[in-house]
């Protein structure tokens, strides 16, 4: 027991990302400072203000699903289900190793910030061209963000709490945090959690362009995501999924599971400021991080690394920097920080989960992933963002931030697990 709650550890991780289709492949690409951005191939983007994104590479649905299954799953659901299988295998809980598992005490909380925007595009066109009688009976089940948790539960007969949190770009982190709290309070022993997104589509790119949220650096996509750089002009849309298996520590030890790290706390807050813009002084972000330190029983000086939300928007990077300074005071200049979105792009509802995996990898490897594409200093972003090159450092405690439209703020904390 710790602070009156059960201790929780990460035993499995799975990921499909623009840098690689596993956590190991993603991490290796991060250590090379690789950008996942390139011209869009999914549709003709020639008339769009932004004509590039961070698409998955080498993904073929038929490598994982038969044709019937693939037709009945939007891409966001496909990505999540593939990442789940990776995470369960990594945790030693693939199908042949679940016989001793109490499936009534396994929860599933996996969601998406947007859900099935691909199938929405397709079925809206069907409605326009052929009328309502031609709409697919699978349209609604393919569309709703919570359907992934349903598919996972049904496939593996996990009968614990089954739902999803939708909090825009904080979705993945909130889903991990909910499982953490359910395990701490004793409701479940094991949880499958995270987020998935597949919004690189006409409506996805067009909608974010209408918000003026995306970079329009079409002449150099690979350099477009440049968090904390003075010339940043918006984020680069990405896609993929991040999934964690987390469980009560004694439960994991009893089955001799490999433990990647301990997850020690969550902090949440609301900006109460604006639908899309962060609080200009970072007040909501600061409150989330302060709440996290309190929940995890951490002193600011114990934190070695912070994976920042860092979207490369003009306002967001400054607000988050102010929040870090407010919470960590002088220690803010002794920590390492970075934005892995400079490489993956912004995965929206999957971002928090993918970045939580990157944060755990940093703890395991004692290596800080870089913020690439830095060229021009911004006087309002003056901390150690680990520009352009990864840095070796002993990392005992690391945090991961995720903030979403609507003012949703979530921070997670991970600690190195002995041995």
Instruction: Tell me the C-alpha distance between 188 and 113, whole Å.
Output: 25
Give residue-wise pLDDT tens across range 51-95: 999 999 999 999 999 999 999 999 999 999 999 999 999 999 987
DSSP helix/strand/coil, 408: strand
Name the average pLDDT for the chain.
Answer: 96
Among 151, 260, 279, 346, the active-site one is 346
Give residue-wise pLDDT tens across range 228-237: 999 999 999 9
According to DSSP, residue 271 is labeled -
Burial of 115 (0-12, 13-18, 19+ CB in 10 A): buried
Instruction: Tell me the C-alpha distance between 136 and 115, whole Å.
Output: 17
Token readout for 148 is: 């992934």
DSSP helix/strand/coil, 77: helix
Instruction: Tell me the C-alpha distance between 8 and 134, whole Å.
Output: 48
pLDDT along the chain (419 residues), means of 10: 74 98 98 98 97 97 96 97 98 85 97 96 95 95 97 97 97 98 97 98 97 97 98 98 98 96 98 92 97 98 98 97 98 98 98 98 98 98 98 98 96 93
Q: What is the pLDDT of residue 1?
A: 38
Among 309, 336, 381, 408, the active-site one is 309
Give residue-wise pLDDT tens across range 284-320: 999 999 999 999 999 999 999 999 999 999 999 999 9
DSSP helix/strand/coil, 53: strand
Known active-site residue 309: yes
Q: What is the pLDDT of residue 95?
A: 74
Token readout for 43 is: 């549709």
Q: What is the pLDDT of residue 5?
A: 77
Among 54, 156, 164, 169, the active-site one is 169
Question: For residues 82-105, b (16+ Cβ closer than 10 Å) or e, as one string?
Answer: bbbbbbbebbbbeeeebeebeeeb
DSSP secondary structure of 274-336: -SSSPPTT-HHHHHHHHHHHHHHT--GGG--EEE------HHHHHHHHHHHHHHHGGGGGTSE
> Are residues 113 and 171 in contact, defined by beta-carbon separation less than 8 angstroms?
yes
Could you tell me what percent of the chain has a pLDDT over 70? 99
70: which residues sit within 8 A by CB, 6+ positions away?
Answer: 61, 62, 78
Q: What is the pLDDT of residue 4?
A: 56
Q: What is the pLDDT of residue 419?
A: 67
Instruction: Tell me the C-alpha distance between 80 and 408, whole Å.
Output: 22
Instruction: Tell me the C-alpha distance between 414 and 304, whole Å.
Output: 11
Instruction: Compute φ and ψ for 8, nearest 5 degrees.
Output: -130, 140
Known active-site residue 169: yes
**Helix or strand run (H / E) with residue 107:** strand 106-111
Q: What is the pLDDT of residue 99?
A: 82
Burial of 305 (0-12, 13-18, 19+ CB in 10 A): buried
């Amino acid at each position: 027991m710790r602070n009156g709650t059960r201790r929780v550890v990460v035993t499995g991780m799975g990921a499909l990302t623009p840098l690689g289709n596993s956590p190991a492949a993603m991490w290796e690409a991060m250590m090379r400072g690789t950008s996942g951005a390139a011209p869009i191939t999914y549709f003709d983007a020639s008339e769009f203000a932004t004509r590039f994104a961070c698409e998955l590479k080498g993904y073929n649905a038929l490598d994982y699903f038969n044709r019937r299954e693939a037709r009945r799953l939007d891409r966001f659901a496909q990505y999540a289900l593939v990442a789940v299988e990776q995470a369960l295998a990594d945790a030693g809980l693939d199908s042949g190793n679940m016989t001793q598992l109490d499936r009534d005490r396994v929860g599933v909380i996996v969601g998406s910030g947007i859900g099935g925007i691909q199938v929405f595009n397709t079925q809206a066109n069907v409605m326009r061209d052929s009328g309502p009688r031609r709409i697919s009976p699978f349209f609604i089940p393919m569309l709703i963000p919570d359907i992934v948790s349903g598919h996972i539960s049904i496939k593996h007969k996990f009968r614990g709490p089954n739902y999803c949190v939708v909090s825009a770009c904080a979705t993945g982190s909130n889903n991990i945090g909910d499982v953490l709290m359910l395990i701490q309070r004793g409701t479940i022993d094991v949880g499958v959690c995270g987020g998935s997104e597949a919004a690189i589509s006409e409506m996805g790119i067009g909608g974010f362009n209408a918000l003026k949220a995306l970079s329009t650096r079409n002449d150099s996509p690979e350099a477009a995501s440049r968090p904390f750089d003075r010339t940043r002009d918006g984020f680069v849309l990405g896609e993929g999924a991040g999934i964690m298996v987390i469980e009560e520590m004694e439960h994991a030890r009893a089955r001799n599971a490999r433990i990647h790290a301990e997850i020690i706390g969550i902090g949440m807050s609301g900006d109460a400021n604006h639908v899309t813009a962060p609080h200009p002084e970072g007040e909501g972000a600061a409150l989330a991080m302060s709440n996290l330190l309190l929940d995890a029983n951490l002193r600011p000086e114990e934190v070695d690394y912070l994976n920042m939300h860092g979207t490369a928007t003009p306002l967001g990077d400054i607000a988050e920097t102010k929040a870090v300074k407010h919470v960590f005071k002088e220690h803010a200049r002794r920590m390492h920080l970075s934005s892995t979105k400079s490489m993956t792009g912004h995965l929206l509802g999957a971002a928090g989960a993918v970045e939580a995996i990157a944060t755990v990898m940093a703890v395991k490897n004692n290596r800080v992933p870089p913020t690439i594409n830095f060229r021009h200093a911004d006087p309002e972003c003056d901390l150690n963002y680990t520009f352009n090159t990864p840095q070796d450092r002993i990392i005992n405690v690391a945090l991961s931030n995720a903030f979403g439209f609507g003012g949703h703020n979530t921070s997670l904390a991970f600690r190195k697990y002995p041995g």
